[in-house]
Chains A and B, each alone.
Chain A
Amino acid sequence: MLEFQFASLTEFFEMAPHGVYVWPIYGLGLLVLSGLTFANARQHRRAVRMIQRNLEREETHEP
């Protein structure tokens, strides 16, 4: 049941005749998932930095 379906790795990457359709889609899927992960991390970092900046500003103004 779990058998490698291709004769060689080259054939796997060629996936004849549909490699041109299959691989870019999986690449795009990877790009979307990692892009969203990255965007979330960036948004989180930005929020933290913005709050930190606000805190610093308050500290310099208040005393």
Chain B
Amino acid sequence: MGWRWFHQWGSPRWFYERAGRWQLVCGWLALTLLITGSFWGLALAPVDYQQGNSYRIIYLHVPVAFLAQALYTAMAVCAVVLFVWKMKLADVAMQSIAVMGFAFTALSLVSGAVWGKPTWGTYWVWDARLTSMLILAFLYLGVIGLRAAIQDPDQAGKACGILVLVGVVNLPIIKYSVEWWNTLHQPASLKLTEKPAMPASMWIPLLINILGYYIAAGYLILGSMRAIVLERERRSAWVRELVSHA
């Protein structure tokens, strides 16, 4: 058992070549899963007796909301890898994930708001989950903005790494404080009543879609990382060779 598997990640060339293949696999897998899960959720899953058909939004909203939170943690892991092992690829990943994370957070906010309209009668309530999602969106924006403002990519990467680590330490504090704030102002009148256990024909498509969106995120992140690697390594011999053959 050697460390080769780990050191390989230090080579942008190795990553660029492999990631192309992984991307292809992820892309088709995600497409299949998402089509299956979404069709199942939209057409084959039974209607919710309380919410009617509007509940079918969860087959998009829930996976995307999971992803939005998971990606921030993934970014923090990348920041740790960047600072501990000085691995440039971790910085590239951080840059890609920030953009995708913001996109998924925004999508989860919009889908949550549209789901809220038939369910709560209004697009936006200052519910704890919606509020912490909104703050998460601002945190992602901060990482994107900081990177865009700093010219030198190395410096920008480290600054973003610090910001992400500070953010990930604060995220639970923010979440708890927002939850506490919510109980302070609204004694849970707008919460949905406790739901009975979902039948299998409802949760299986949800599971498929969660998996599908995670893999789709992988596909998108790999694609964006490949483009960034190419850009950053533009002076290296392997990129020049690759491009001149293209």
Q: Residues of A at under 8 Å CB distance from B?
A: 1-6, 12, 15-19, 21-22, 24-26, 28-29, 32-33, 36-37, 39-41, 43-44, 46-48, 50-52, 54-55
* Interfacial chain B residues near A17, Cβ < 8 Å: 52-53, 118
Enumerate chain B interface residues (CB-CB to A < 8 A).
Answer: 27, 38, 40, 42-47, 52-54, 56-57, 60-61, 64, 100, 103-104, 107, 110-111, 114-115, 117-118, 200-201, 216, 219-220, 223-224, 226-228, 230-231, 234, 239-240, 243-244, 246
How far, in angstroms, from A39 to B114 measured CA to CA in the complex?
26
Central interface residue in B42, B46, B53, B110, by most chain A CB within 10 Å? B53
CB A37 to nearest CB in B, in angstroms, measures: 7
The residue that B54 contacts in the complex, of A22, A24, A28, A44, with Cβ under 8 A, is A22
> Given contacts A21-B114, A41-B223, A44-B230, are A29 and B44 in contact (CB under 8 A)?
no
> Is there an interface contact between B56 and A15, defined as CB atoms closer than 8 Å?
yes
State which of B38, B57, B219, B227 has its C-beta within 8 Å of the C-beta of A47.
B227
Given that A18-B53, A25-B57 are known contacts, is A32 also in contact with B111, CB under 8 Å in the complex? no
**Choice from A22, A44, A47, A48 contacting B56 with Cβ under 8 Å:** A22
- List of B residues within 8 angstroms of A2 by Cβ: 40, 44, 201
- Give the distance to chain A from B223, nearest Cβ to Cβ, in Å: 4
Residue contact A18 to B224, C-beta cutoff 8 Å: no
> CB distance B44 to A28 under 8 Å?
no
Given contacts A25-B110, A44-B226, contact A51 B240 (CB under 8 A): yes
Please, which residues of chain B bring their CB within 8 A of the CB of A39? Answer: 224
Q: Is the CB of A28 within 8 A of B111?
A: yes
Majority-rule SS of A interface residues: helix
Set of chain B residues within 8 Å of A33, measured between Cβ atoms: 216, 220
Separation of A46 and B229 alpha carbons in the complex (Å): 13
8 closest cross-chain pairs (CB), A and B:
A40-B223, A18-B54, A43-B227, A44-B227, A47-B230, A18-B53, A47-B231, A15-B53
Q: How far is the CA of A16 from the CA of B47 in the complex (A)?
A: 11
Closest residue of B by beta carbon distance from A29? B60
- What are 22 sample pairs from A and B whose C-beta atoms fall under 8 A apart? A2-B201, A3-B44, A5-B43, A15-B53, A17-B52, A17-B118, A18-B53, A18-B54, A18-B118, A21-B115, A21-B118, A22-B42, A28-B110, A32-B104, A37-B223, A40-B227, A44-B226, A47-B231, A50-B231, A51-B234, A51-B240, A55-B243
